[in-house]
Chains A and B, each alone.
Chain A
Amino acid sequence: MSGRDEREDPTTGPRSGRRTEEEVLARIEKARRRAPRVTDERITLAHGAGGRATRRLVESLFLEAFRNPVLEVLEDQAVFDVKGGTLAFTTDSYVVSPLFFPGGNIGDLAVNGTVNDLAVSGARPLYLSAGFILEEGFPLEKLRRIVESMQAAALAARVEVAAGDTKVVERGKGDGCYINTAGVGVLERRVRLGAARARPGDVVIVSGPIADHGVTILLARGELELESQVVSDTAPLSGLVASLLDATTSVRCLRDATRGGVATVLNEIAIAAEVGVRIDEERIPVREEVRGACELLGIDPLHVACEGRVVAVVGPEEADAAVEAMRRDPLGREASAIGRICSEPSGTVLLKTKFGGTRIVDLLIGDPLPRIC
């Protein structure tokens, strides 16, 4: 609607020799895809936020150093063949602050997060390891509560914590308790999932209301003096994913939307598959309290972490079946098809706003919510 021709206007029109808007946009897209370089001299919190800075650090430092075909796909887990089968393998560290929050604590978060990273590859999670980095003086009572909820979460997800490690650092050198978990799962299905498999026409589904976890943590810190009933959505998704994969054959890709939120997942899909993603704000489930908190804080729920929601890209003919399969699972009751994959504009996520306009949904830049997981 706003394609304007202003050549007669000397103050804003494209002057001779100037670039047109299209040319500028094309150059920006090229720049966005260029192999990233780390120009920063030091690590900042942005490098841990799961947004563009994280991606730059991972791709230009870690991937360059460790490059191999398994790592290179940069999925949430490594998938590789061994004699007699295919395994999925992943690791994740947890530094959430505060350690205890409505709906969970660092312990069940650490189990669920690793279970989910395995589940979204289509694997059945089997074993986890748990590494504890504890600060001198940390109350044993708190550690006991954390460990008990880890065991409860492991039971619920039908995995076993089969290996572990403990380190203690001097007072002031840690923040109470950090946990690292690694996990192994087995791929028993023939399905191969990956962000690059999304193709135009596919439907994008989320398994429930977004942004609960991030908003819960933000409010639990008490710095904002806002009160609310929101609880974290931390939960193991392996059951829901299994029901989905049992009911369908055309799932292209699954992602759990953690740091950087649904926006980051969709951008990764758009870039990996060289497709556009169009979503409809009206169809994205967000709880009223969460939407209110985001509105007050000026953050976009699409950028806020979930810890128990999966984003699925499914072939168009099975979209309804996929939504129904998710809704049969208690964790997926509010599943909703939120948009489609399209051919244009490649590498970009577009949102039809409730208001009826269209805008871009980009990767998160900077970090409004450090240490959410």
Chain B
Amino acid sequence: MRFVDEYRSRDSAQRLSQEIAALLGSRAYKMMEVCGGHTHTIYKHGVEDYLPEGLTLVHGPGCPVCVIPMGRIDDARFLAEQRDVILATFGDTLRVPGGRGSLLDAKARGARIRVVYSPLDALKVAREHPEKHVVFFALGFETTAPSTAATVLRAAREGVRNFSVFCNHVLIVPAVKALLDSPDLRLDGFIGPGHVSTVIGCKPYQFVPQQYGKPFVVAGFEPLDVLQAISMILRQLSQGRAEVENQYTRVVRWDGNPHALALIGEVMELRPHFEWRGLGFISHSALRLRDAYREYDAEKLFELPSLRVSDPKACQCGEVLKGVLRPWECKVFGTACTPETPIGTCMVSSEGACAAYYHYGRFQRRRADGARPL
């Protein structure tokens, strides 16, 4: 495949791997890849096989499905169970466990749930079913918020009245800040999210080097992108610098995408606070529809139960999301909690740290490579 294979070349990986080993020397560093897309890439392609022993990758909270609290899943289920409502949702939300089971369970019991690939698909469902009301279960970071906003605008323009949005869009910067303020976490640098940055640009991350003294490198999603970003972070560390750098220049502009940001600003506003799974309540960390668009806001149209549901006791998703625990260190990992019967959200999405590790990384590399006997 053109434009992809060049970012997966073994030769370049070898070269970067040597560069990384030389830069690291005998030191030990921990870096977080904030975005679940990176976690997925790292495991799917076996990127860790190219990393020296002293370098640890910590998997961050940038997986939109993973940070949805159970109460919001219950609200989505409540919507799907309303008479004459169709809930349109991305496929990876289906297996997320809520306090009352998952959307997949609700579907098996007769709730009308449609898997869509974009909010515009959801709007299409609404046009095709004028007798029903279609609610789009909107979630994701600033990456997906613009398309939700554009869909609301289009619905308004076209006068579609049987469509609304259950808005759960969250913001990346408050999450990174919450991580940096978390006392039990020690990191030496960040591999910054790529897709989100296509929208917000690189500037919003400047507080990371300025206030916390950590390098932050925005990276693409191919395995070579990740290796190169690691090398850039190590170079900053070895030169005593801490800056925001952009590895993903082929896509991300320093100032982001003003048009997309304007769309978000037109339709959405900050919530005073929002609950994140594992991270708790974070101020100004999520978006809701502006009052001008209240007729498209499912939270205004329906009386949602909005109950706070505490995570199951055994679940350590919070620690995993903060990178304090590695997936296999969670008490229930792989035994009680598996991708098929997940207890926590990290085990659901293919971008979740636990699911990625379970699907792709669950073996002894030493034994697999035959490099060293156990």
Which residues of chain A are within 8 angstroms of B9 by Cβ–Cβ distance?
355
Q: Which of B49, B56, B358 contacts A4 (CB 8 A)?
A: B56
A102 at the interface (CB under 8 A from B): no
Which residues of chain A are within 8 angstroms of B324 by Cβ–Cβ distance?
11-12
Q: Give how many B residues have a beta carbon under 8 Å from the other chain's beta carbons.
A: 66
Which residues of chain B are within 8 angstroms of A348 by Cβ–Cβ distance?
363
Which residues of chain A are within 8 angstroms of B372 by Cβ–Cβ distance?
3
Give bound CA distance, A291 to B1, whole Å: 8
Q: With A354-B8, A358-B49 in contact, do A3 and B333 touch (Cβ < 8 Å)? A: no
Give bound CA distance, A360 to B9, whole Å: 20
Do A2 and B360 touch (CB < 8 A)?
no
A189 at the interface (CB under 8 A from B): no
Q: With A31-B335, A368-B91 in contact, do A223 and B117 touch (Cβ < 8 Å)? A: yes
Which residues of chain B are within 8 angstroms of A167 by Cβ–Cβ distance?
none
Which residues of chain A are within 8 angstroms of B154 by Cβ–Cβ distance?
none
Do B365 and A2 touch (CB < 8 A)?
yes
Do B328 and A24 touch (CB < 8 A)?
yes
Which residues of chain B are within 8 angstroms of A223 by Cβ–Cβ distance?
117, 121
Which residues of chain B are within 8 angstroms of A228 by Cβ–Cβ distance?
none
Give bound CA distance, A223 to B116, whole Å: 9
Say how far A300's CB is from chain B's closest CB, in angstroms.
8
Q: Give how many A residues have a beta carbon under 8 Å from the other chain's beta carbons.
A: 51
Q: With A1-B51, A3-B372, A356-B13 in contact, do A350 and B329 touch (Cβ < 8 Å)? A: no
Do B48 and A2 touch (CB < 8 A)?
yes
Say how far B231's CB is from chain A's closest CB, in angstroms.
16
Say how far A155's CB is from chain B's closest CB, in angstroms.
38
| Contact mask for chain A residues 221-248; partner B; CB cutoff 8 A; 1 contact, 0 none | 0011000000000000000000000000
> Which chain B residues (1-23) contact chain A, with CB distance < 8 Å?
1, 4-5, 8-10, 13-14
Say how far A297's CB is from chain B's closest CB, in angstroms.
9
A298 at the interface (CB under 8 A from B): yes
Q: Chain A: interface secondary structure?
A: loop
B43 at the interface (CB under 8 A from A): yes
Give bound CA distance, A233 to B14, whole Å: 37
Which residues of chain A are within 8 angstroms of B43 by Cβ–Cβ distance?
359
A6 at the interface (CB under 8 A from B): yes
Q: With A1-B51, A1-B365 in contact, do A365 and B340 touch (Cβ < 8 Å)? A: yes
Say how far A42's CB is from chain B's closest CB, in angstroms.
4
Say how far A151's CB is from chain B's closest CB, in angstroms.
36
Say how far B287's CB is from chain A's closest CB, in angstroms.
25
Give bound CA distance, A53 to B339, whole Å: 11
Q: Which of A5, A43, A358, A366 contacts B95 (CB 8 A)?
A: A366
Give bound CA distance, A224 to B52, whole Å: 41
> Which chain B residues (104-139) contact chain A, with CB distance < 8 Å?
104-105, 107-109, 117, 121
| Contact mask for chain A residues 304-347; partner B; CB cutoff 8 A; 1 contact, 0 none | 00000000000000000000000000000000000000001100
Which residues of chain B are within 8 angstroms of A53 by Cβ–Cβ distance?
340
A166 at the interface (CB under 8 A from B): no
| Contact mask for chain B residues 209-242; partner A; CB cutoff 8 A; 1 contact, 0 none | 0000000000000010000000000000000000
Q: With A28-B334, A350-B368, A359-B43 in contact, do A288 and B56 touch (Cβ < 8 Å)? A: no
Beyond A1-B48, A11-B184, A352-B46: 17 further Cβ-contacts under 8 Å?
Answer: A2-B48, A11-B185, A31-B338, A43-B108, A44-B105, A223-B121, A345-B363, A350-B363, A350-B368, A355-B13, A355-B45, A355-B47, A358-B46, A358-B49, A360-B361, A365-B340, A366-B94
8 A–B contacts from the bound complex (CB under 8 Å): A12-B324, A27-B335, A31-B334, A345-B368, A353-B44, A353-B46, A356-B14, A358-B368
**Sorted from nearest, which 3 A-B pairs have the closest CB atoms?**
A357-B46, A28-B334, A359-B360
Binding site for A on B (CB under 8 A): 1, 4-5, 8-10, 13-14, 28, 30, 43-54, 56, 58, 91, 94-95, 104-105, 107-109, 117, 121, 184-186, 223, 324-326, 328-329, 333-335, 338-341, 350, 358-369, 371-372, 374
